[in-house]
Amino acid sequence: MGIAAAITYQLCTHCAITTARGGPCDFDAENIGEVLAFMRTHGQLVPAEYVHSDGDWTCEGCGLDQLAPTRTFTHF
């Protein structure tokens, strides 16, 4: 049997904060429904690492295109 690789998710700052807190925080997001659905689907996640990504990428929590660095989260 091999060791299973951890699945990581790339999250923007707002989704990372919401995920780390376990629910909505003090920011106004039009797409909070998508973020909460992501949290329900993927269960409890913990921060994995901070990544300086080159170019744009899509947040797996809210689905919005991002230019800022990403935070990755993995299963607890």
pLDDT tens-digit readout, 10-64: 998 888 888 888 887 666 667 788 888 888 898 888 888 888 777 788 999 889 8
Q: How confident is the model at residue 2 (pLDDT cuts 50, 70, 90)?
A: low
Count other Cβ atoms within 10 Å, centred on residue 8. Answer: 17
Look at residue 66 and tell me if it is in a domain: yes
Looking at the structure of the chain, the number of domains it has is: 1
Q: What is the DSSP-derived secondary structure letter of residue 27?
A: -
Report yes or no on 1 lying in a domain: no
Residue 2 lies in a domain: no
pTM above 0.85, yes or no: no
Q: How far apart are CA 74 and CA 46, in angstroms?
A: 6
Host domain of residue 30: 8-75
Residues 6+ apart with CB under 8 A from 28: none
Which residues contact residue 70 at a Cβ distance below 8 angstroms, ignoring those fewer than 6 apart? Answer: 10, 11, 12, 50, 51, 53, 57, 59
Residue 76 has pLDDT above 70, yes or no: no
